[in-house]
Structure 1
Amino acid sequence: METADHYKFLSIQDAMKCINQKVNITGIIVEFGLPKQSRGTDYYCTLKIIDQSYQTPGMCVNFFAESSKQLPDVVERGDIVQLCNVMVKRHGDEVNAVFNKKFSSFALYNGKDNIDFAPYQVSAKYHPRDVDKRLLAELRKWLLNSQLIQDSYAMLRDINEGLHCNLICKVLHCCKTANQERMMIFVWDGTDLRPNSIIAKLEDEVHNPLPLHPELVPLPRELLCTFPTIGSILRISYDKRIESKHLKLLENDKWVKIVNMHLEVHAGLWHGVLSPSTKLRYIRNDDDLIQQRQRLYEERMSWNLRRMPFWSFPWPSYVTDYEFASLTVIDHDAAPLCTLMDVLTHSEVTAKYKCIVRIAAAMPQSAKDFCSQRGIYRMRLTVEDPTARIHAFVYAEDGETLFDGYPSTSILTQKMNSLLGVKPCDDSTVPKCASRNPPWVQVCLKSYYTSKDDIWGSRRYRIFGTKIVVRD
């Protein structure tokens, strides 16, 4: 087959037959990756394109350039790329095209069916031709009728560990991690992340406690106060091979599409990871998928129980109870539920809250150490809900209320195990199973400073007015 001239555009199917020849192709972009640096000095990226002649699996086009700015900066999946003088190569069973910075050119166009035929990005050697408009119009019409570009986007409540997912979310904040090696991104969509089993030994809490957040250094309270108090906030980091300048979509208060993000769980906390194969896409504020998420959030805000964790419906367990508590302390029936983010960002101290949480860890671990030598309860519990994880202390008379006095060590152990989700293993030689799934329980919390003079110090939290009820 003859090499395509400067004015002839081939279909992808025909172009794939022109091995080791230069061709001109126009195709619809179905995949695109972030720029990466090659082993030399060049930068490269890959697009996958389709047209009417070749829809599955698509043809890969590899781009090489002296800087990342010279590579295609695709706005959205479904946009159109026009390629001139790209070389067709075979690698094993695969055939792809290679964009050479010395003689190839490209132009990127909006893939939507409209009257605008102006490219939004062109390479240095690009020259417009009259044939461009006809090809664009044909591809746009075919794409509109075929409805091929339909991605599935999860909500935070839908994601699972170890999977790669597509996510539509609102960026709340971006910052450097403590070691300055990575950026951390905080995103939200108004839904609650799924609770994870706690895979940690209870006795490790003394020397290796569960972290309260994925970031090494906690965010300042004034920043936390700008975050939503309902709905989970997912922390996302990205590989240091990705240059931060390529993440320009991640502006605060902007909605974005994140495609092919990996989900991990560390110490029971969700964490997202962007890799070089992750794609980022612009999204308009009037996009139907954004409108859908905002409607769901507004619907949730209309509920009386809007602050109840999604995963605790229809109601938390009955491991704890309020029935004994004095209504002069807190009106348990009238007081609204609070999330832990409400607690963290509340403007006043001392304040009292009613929350639905899980108890992820306790220190000390052994029931015989719950009280000091003077017989005073003193414990630290790690408390979590979909919005945050905090430490809450149990002290003195609050411990007497929680455990209903000073029962035997075996009863104390039984009560604490019910709170922590600890179940005996089948093998009697193994004292406790490693994986725990703590129940959702109702607790009363109050905030305080460590001393009257510590008005600028860290807030502390105590559990009060709450009783563990062990039912046969």
Structure 2
Amino acid sequence: MVYRRFLCIKDAVACINDKVDLIAVILNFSLPQTTRGTDYVCKLKIIDESHPEIPVHVFAQEIDHLPFVAAVGDIIHLSRVVMRIHEGDVYAIFNKKFSSFALYDGKDVENFQPYQVLLRYEARKHDAMIIAGLRKWLASSHVIDEPNFSLLEEINEVDLVNLVCKVRKKFRCVIRFVAVIPWRVEDFRSPDGVYRVKFTLEDPTARIHVYSYAEDGEKFFNGLSTGGLKRKLKELLGVPKSDDDGQEEIEGGARNPPWVQCCLKSHSIKRRRWIFDTKLVG
């Protein structure tokens, strides 16, 4: 297998079964998922000036070894990915044994330090020049029309921003639900019937508390019955179940909450955050 140090996407798609390095803009990305085995996978779509978008399938043994993209339009350096073709469609495979990556802000023209790297990643002298060129191209093009996702640490920073001019801000995040108060679904509503639930959310950057309240709570809990809400809450919190019928909980078992998309709003003066425009399905 040939290893080609750096190629634009146009040249890389002709190097089937070779290892290549790519630096490109992220057009889209999926939530982490488990494979049929014990690994995790996420999928990206990347683009550069030379070629339309191509998919990248990223495999990792640990979920923390997957790229956690802060926003569509950020830049990824993929090292030693393998180019493949299936039914005429070319894509790149990130191999957990030898591939690596680094993620860069797509808009910050001054910063050339990655905000996430895999341990075996090695930067090169001319990477900054390529990244600067991609940022310039991205700023003058209209290839990005996807909604951005925010990191929880960025939501925390909003409280420090001008309290007069920036009272409320909204975010779309990829997070996990790790705790809820009150625990009993029957206690989610106040005596006058208003939802008032506090969740703890996390992503790789931070852990925060958010509320599901009143009308936003009505939308989030989606009219589910008490039984249905109990079931969805256990799924959301990653409560383990037995392998027999999937109904019985495993007492003391390790929880593994799924990664989900969620919209949050933050009020700088009240210093609180709420779930909004988000709905539990099923």
Other-structure match for 2:186: 217
CA–CA separation in structure 2 for the residues paired with 1:35 and 1:225: 26
Q: Is the 8 A contact 1:107 1:121 kept in 2?
A: yes
**Number of aligned positions between the proteins:** 209
User: For each residue in 1:326-371, what CA deviation from the matched residue of structure 2 results, as whole angstroms up to 9, or x when unmatched?
Assistant: xxxxxxxxxxxxxxxxxxxxxxxxxxxxxxxxxxxxxxxxxxxxxx
Normalised to the residue count of structure 1, the TM-score between the two structures is 0.38
- CA deviation map 1:394-426 (0-9, x unaligned): xxxxxxxxxxxxxxxxxxxxxxxxxxxxxxxxx
* Greater Cα radius of gyration, structure 1 or 2: 1
> Residues 162-241 of structure 1 correspond to what in structure 2 (within 5 A)?
217=186, 219-221=188-190, 224=196, 232-233=216-217, 234-235=219-220
Q: CA deviation at 1:51?
A: 0.8
**Corresponding residue for residue 103 of structure 1:** 98
CA distance in 2, matches of 1:90, 1:52: 21
In structure 1, the residue matched to 2:257 is 244
AA partner of residue 101 (structure 1):
K
**2:120 is aligned with 1:125:** yes
Q: What secondary structure is seen at the aligned counterpart in 2 of 1:140? A: helix
The alpha-carbon deviation at position 46 of structure 1 amounts to 0.9
Distance across 1 between alignment mates of 2:171 and 2:136: 27
Mapped contact 2:212–2:276 kept (Cα < 8 A) = no
Higher relative contact order (CA 8 A, sep 6+): 2
- TM-superposed deviation, 1:93: 2.5
Aligned to 1:147: 142
TM-superposed deviation, 1:150: 2.4
Please list every run of 5 or more consecutive structure 2 residues that lacks an aligned counterpart in the other structure. Answer: 149-169, 199-210, 222-231, 239-255, 267-271
**Cα distance in 2, alignment partners of residues 152 and 249 from structure 1:** 12
**Residue identity (%):** 34
The residue type equivalent to 1:76 in the other structure is A
1:265-276 equivalences under 5 Å are: 271-273=279-281
The answer as to whether partners of 1:169 and 1:257 remain within 8 angstroms in 2 is no
Q: What stretches of structure 1 move > 2 A for 4+ residues in a row? A: 2-6, 150-153, 167-171, 173-178, 215-218, 222-234, 236-258, 271-274
Taking structure 2 as the reference length, what is the TM-score of the superposition?
0.61
Give the deviation of 1:230 after TM superposition: 8.0
Alignment counterpart, residue 33 of structure 2, candidates 12, 23, 36: 36
* Cα distance in 1 for residues equivalent to 2:128 and 2:197: 51
In 2: Cα distance, 1:44 partner to 1:229 partner:
34
CA contact (8 A) 1:169 1:255 kept: no
- Do 2:263 and 2:276's aligned partners in 1 also have CA atoms closer than 8 Å? no
1:66 and 2:61 aligned: yes
Letter paired with 1:89: R
Q: Give the conservation status (yes or no) of the 8 Å contact 1:168–1:256.
A: no
Residues in 1 aligned to 2:276 and 2:96: alpha-carbon distance in whole angstroms: 30
1:44: Cα distance to partner?
Answer: 1.1
Task: Tell me the secondary structure at the aligned position of residue 186 of structure 2.
Answer: coil
CA distance in structure 2 between the partners assigned to 1:64 and 1:13 by the alignment: 23
How far apart are 1:95 and its partner, in Å? 1.0
Note the residue ranges of structure 1 that are not aligned, 5 or more in a row. 154-166, 181-214, 262-270, 275-472
- Equivalent residues of 1:22, 1:85 under 8 A apart: yes
Kindly tell me: are residues 135 and 273 of structure 1, through their superposed partners in 2, closer, same or farther at Cα, counting changes over 3 Å? farther
Hey, what does 1:52 align to over in structure 2? 49
Q: Using the TM superposition, give the Cα deviation of residue 220 of structure 1 relative to its aligned residue in structure 2, in angstroms.
A: 3.7
RMSD, aligned CA: 4.1
